[in-house]
A and B are shown apart, each in its own frame.
Chain A
Amino acid sequence: MSTVKQDTRLRDILGTSALRPDGVAKVMGSFSFSSDMWAENMLWGATLRSPHPYARIISIDTTAALLISGVSAVITAQDVPGKATYGLISADQPVFASEFVRYMGEPVAAVAADHPETCRRALAAIIVNYEVLTPVVDPELAMLATTEQIHPDGNLIRHQRIICGDPHISGNITVEGNYTIGMQDQAFLGLEAAMAFPDSGGNGVELHIATQWLHEDRGQIAACLKLPEDNVRLVLGGVGGAFGAREDISLQVHCCLLALRTGRPIKMQYSREESFFGHVHRHPAKIWMKHHATKEGKIVKVESRMVFDGGAYTSTSPAVLINGITHTQGPYQCDNAVVDGYAVRTNNPPCGAMRGFGVVQACFAHESQMDKLAQACGLSPVDVRLINAMHTGDKLITGQVMESVAPVERCIRETDAIPMPETLAPNANVLEFPGGSGRTADRHNIVRGIGWGVSMKNLMYSEGFDDYATARCTLSNGIASLKFATSEVGQGFVTLAPQIARSVLGVDDVVLETSDTQIGSAGSTSASRQTWMSGGAVDGACRLVRERLFEHVGKLHNIDPIRLMIEHTDVIDTIGTFRISVAEATQGITLSETFEHHHRKTEDLDANGQGNCHVAFAFVAHRAVVDVDVELGLVKVVQIATAQDVGRVLNPLSAIGQIEGGIAQGLGLAVMEEIIMDNGRVKNPSFTDYLLPTALDAPHVVAIMIEEAEPQAPLGAKGIGEPPCISVTPAIIAAIRAATGKALSRVPVRPQDICL
């Protein structure tokens, strides 16, 4: 009887909609975000930033600031004891600018004081004498050798070609276009914040920080502080979203320096305005693309030239560029290609990681092209994509063979089968019209349009990088403890990890230990990689512990361990004569194992862009239905239909959350989100002027998850975070084109692009 009960009891194992373990704290307001930290005797830190996009620093006078009552420290470049620069790929970004400031908002000095208002007054009292220079803001000009090089490393961050097949081949039909992608901000809600505690004696520091990758941060911080890495301990502070904006160093080094200088805990947190200057953005890009095809619409060759504006410092630009150019073909078969990609340094804000990482830009171009191709061949948007759909085993333009499950055709067909939304009712509420609560639209000017987007996205890091993940599992008295340095940024790894342990070990109680640098690296929470990588590490550690458990039980009960298995919460033997609960079997003993999960090796691209540079891929299709007020140029996205290749669904509730959330960000890029630049100056660093999708902008999402387990993936599951935000953007633009007949070659689409 009790066995039957156990069989039917709902356990939060893999495949269930297990709930977030941090959910109760988050809804009660008691979850500790990094900005919620407070310490006895703490001081506030704040940063002085350049008002100019490009200038020479003649002098910095901190005397007056130091005289202000309540100010404990003012630091500049000369107070950095170690390496003066940091960076994810190339350490080319100064902790504080000393000779030149190269973008508006670049840090110049930092202060510690007793109150945020005292900090503000101290910053205002620092006198920086600048010789203002003419900024280099056009990447096309910047990359020329004749243009002033604004950094000792030069203005060209990276150039990479791809030449595949016959570069001279042509097709009966050619379509081409120039496409522009604006600068999008990650706009996480939880602003940059940290608290640094100095060790007594000043030989070390503990930093509580909202970040995507604790170990990478630690390496960069320790070098700047000139401290051994062991003396710099990082603890994950509660993270209020990330989306790529927490991969680079922001306030980490400043906060630690102030703590070491004052000997007191330092709290730093950015305002929204400062946040726009304090983290990297999505690269604005200009892309020319040309497709050659047969008259039946089959792609023969793709040509492209992509220019990514990297801004003043390298960040992840080289990797973003490679993602962009290696995804030129999209999820389509293509035997011949000529692609040139450039990542360029300018005096614009540094750009780096954001959800979709280079593929968003390429996808807007290739999907706009697919619609042009469809039109040129007299095909429907669906048919042109089906004719060209990629399959497992196809060779990519890099020469790499598509080894991942590639259900592109299924994604398209299943999306196509999703019912269309109702037409806009004659008596519809004005809130449902384009313009929403602005209540400006006229019913008679509203035209509906439908558009498509399909995409391919690489998973994990590329080009030979071993972004492994580490996890430790400890099993004792029926309770499993998991330790990893994986950053929970909202995606739900804290939900998934216990699900894995329950499935593998037959326990119900799982404790998550603090995420910090007291264990090996987990790699970054980015590149749709943590379910695969940290999930693989947790799974591996739990499996090792399970082996030890079977050895222990086998020895005690004289059973060959190979005959033991877990059934629900029991250890049983394969012939069903022996049964003991995991809780009972682990009374008084502790079994602990650590596991590192490494993905398969990848390699660099050669001079012609050939090489097995990516680990794996995921696919998705989007169909957008929009209503457009063609007079006012306003857009309402009515419905997004999507079928996404997920490998295996490990938590349906988490998965739909990723899909809907990603779609909203892709919608933002399509119709409203852009950091507007004017000669190196950011014009809209606030939520009043940088528009984000609200509840009234949210489309009705109808999602299908296509489950074809990925053999390479430890849990059969692909990463699902990035694909939702990639092809939804071109799908929405295609729908607006269908409604308006306008060419629309840039995102975001602005009202004037539609109605003028």
Chain B
Amino acid sequence: MSESIGNEMYTLRINGQDRPVKDAWVGESLLYVLRERLELPGAKGACEQGECGSCTVLMDGDAVCSCLVMAATAIGADIVTVEGLIEKDPSMATTADVIASQITDVQQAFITEGGVQCGFCTPGLIVAVHHLLDKNSDPTELDVKESISGNICRCTGYGRIFAAVEAVVQVRKASR
């Protein structure tokens, strides 16, 4: 880092852990800091304008576009990224099967219902769908469409993504 850029130091609370951020330029977005400084590349950058939702993370329970949040303003917030959605003990994750068994119902449904193609929009959508279902356990089709209309997918045409959300809702309903 060149001198002219600056060298901020602060701490962010991410996925339940305090993560120090060193030598950062104060202009860096939360998305940049997650991806380039904290080894959390799950959130993706695709528009830098909050239009595509690929960078969606949870901030104090709200779904936000991390490309629009300056990292230094997120101090004190409880941030959850797609990596933090996994119910896991990292030390247990030694084989692919174990990892697969630790993915969430939403993540599993995206795979089994064909909601993933290139996968670039997927992490943002996974976070957005978790956020939706946390707030509304029985969404209508229109609720689903509106709540993920800020997440652009260029591959699937959304049909299999709707199917994935529907599958999760049905399974959760049946297990209540």
Q: Is the CB of B2 within 8 A of A115?
A: yes
Q: Is the CB of A26 within 8 A of B49?
A: no
Q: Which residues on the B side are within 8 Å of A662 (C-beta)?
A: 157
Q: Is the CB of B82 within 8 A of A28?
A: yes
- Mask, B121-163, CB within 8 Å of A = 1, is 1110010000000000000001011101111111111111110
A side interface size, CB within 8 A: 72
Q: Which residues on the A side are within 8 Å of B45 (C-beta)?
A: 35, 191
Q: Is the CB of B2 within 8 A of A68?
A: yes
**Once bound together, how far apart are the Cα atoms of A686 and B49, in whole Å?**
8
The smallest beta-carbon distance between B27 and chain A, in angstroms, is 7
Whether A187 contacts B51 in the complex (CB less than 8 A), given A24-B111, A695-B149, comes out as: no
Q: Which residues on the B side are within 8 Å of A243 (C-beta)?
A: 154
Q: Is the CB of A24 within 8 A of B99?
A: yes
Whether A663 contacts B5 in the complex (CB less than 8 A), given A29-B41, A190-B120, comes out as: no
Q: Is the CB of B100 within 8 A of A24?
A: yes
A427 at the interface (CB under 8 A from B): no
**Once bound together, how far apart are the Cα atoms of A263 and B96, in whole Å?**
36
B13 at the interface (CB under 8 A from A): no
Q: Is the CB of A664 within 8 A of B49?
A: no
B46 at the interface (CB under 8 A from A): yes
- In the complex, which residue of chain A has the Cβ closest to the Cβ of B127? A29
The smallest beta-carbon distance between A622 and chain B, in angstroms, is 13
Whether A660 contacts B158 in the complex (CB less than 8 A), given A23-B110, A27-B107, A190-B120, comes out as: yes
Within B18-56, the residues touching A (CB, 8 Å) are 25, 27, 32, 35-36, 40-49, 51-52, 54
Whether A239 contacts B3 in the complex (CB less than 8 A), given A24-B96, A490-B155, comes out as: no
- Mask, B2-15, CB within 8 Å of A = 1, is 11110000000000
The residue from B35, B117, B144 contacting A490, defined by CB atoms under 8 A apart? B117
Q: Is the CB of B46 within 8 A of A191?
A: yes
User: Which of A73-81, A143-151, A610-618, A649-657 forms contacts with chain B?
Assistant: A649-657
Q: Is the CB of B86 within 8 A of A28?
A: yes
**Once bound together, how far apart are the Cα atoms of A26 and B162, in whole Å?**
18
The residue from B86, B149, B156 contacting A694, defined by CB atoms under 8 A apart? B149
- In the complex, which residue of chain A has the Cβ closest to the Cβ of B159? A660
Q: Is the CB of B52 within 8 A of A189?
A: yes
A134 at the interface (CB under 8 A from B): no
Most buried by B among A23, A113, A191: A23
Q: Which residues on the B side are within 8 Å of A656 (C-beta)?
A: 114, 159-160
The residue from A33, A688, A693 contacting B120, defined by CB atoms under 8 A apart? A33
Q: Is the CB of B157 within 8 A of A687?
A: no
Q: Is the CB of B82 within 8 A of A29?
A: yes
- Mask, A554-565, CB within 8 Å of B = 1, is 000000000000
State the main secondary structure of chain A at its contact with B: loop
A552 at the interface (CB under 8 A from B): no
Q: Is the CB of A431 within 8 A of B157?
A: no
Within A1-56, the residues touching B (CB, 8 Å) are 17, 19-20, 22-33, 35-36, 38
Q: Is the CB of A490 within 8 A of B4?
A: no
Most buried by B among A271, A663, A694: A694
- Mask, A414-435, CB within 8 Å of B = 1, is 0000000000000001011000
Q: Is the CB of A687 within 8 A of B1?
A: no
Whether A241 contacts B111 in the complex (CB less than 8 A), given A28-B99, A69-B2, A687-B52, comes out as: no
**Once bound together, how far apart are the Cα atoms of A692 and B149, in whole Å?**
11
B78 at the interface (CB under 8 A from A): no
- Mask, B101-114, CB within 8 Å of A = 1, is 00100011011111
Most buried by A among B47, B83, B149, B161: B47
Whether A188 contacts B118 in the complex (CB less than 8 A), given A115-B2, A241-B154, A429-B142, comes out as: yes
**Once bound together, how far apart are the Cα atoms of A187 and B47, in whole Å?**
10
**Once bound together, how far apart are the Cα atoms of A659 and B155, in whole Å?**
10
Q: Which residues on the B side are within 8 Å of A17 (C-beta)?
A: 114
- Mask, B79-98, CB within 8 Å of A = 1, is 00111001000000000100
Q: Is the CB of B51 within 8 A of A189?
A: no
The smallest beta-carbon distance between B67 and chain A, in angstroms, is 10
Q: Which residues on the B side are within 8 Å of A464 (C-beta)?
A: none
A117 at the interface (CB under 8 A from B): yes
Whether A19 contacts B112 in the complex (CB less than 8 A), given A28-B83, A117-B5, A688-B49, comes out as: yes
A701 at the interface (CB under 8 A from B): yes
A114 at the interface (CB under 8 A from B): yes
- In the complex, which residue of chain A has the Cβ closest to the Cβ of B3? A69
Q: Which residues on the B side are within 8 Å of A432 (C-beta)?
A: 142
Within A227-249, the residues touching B (CB, 8 Å) are 238-241, 243
**Once bound together, how far apart are the Cα atoms of A271 and B55, in whole Å?**
14
Q: Which residues on the B side are within 8 Å of A186 (C-beta)?
A: 154
Q: Which residues on the A side are within 8 Å of B159 (C-beta)?
A: 656-657, 660, 698, 701
14 contacts between A and B (CB under 8 A): A19-B112, A26-B116, A27-B103, A28-B86, A28-B99, A188-B120, A191-B45, A240-B120, A241-B117, A491-B117, A660-B159, A686-B49, A695-B145, A695-B149
Which 5 pairs from chain A and chain B are nearest by CB? A29-B42, A490-B118, A70-B2, A26-B119, A240-B120
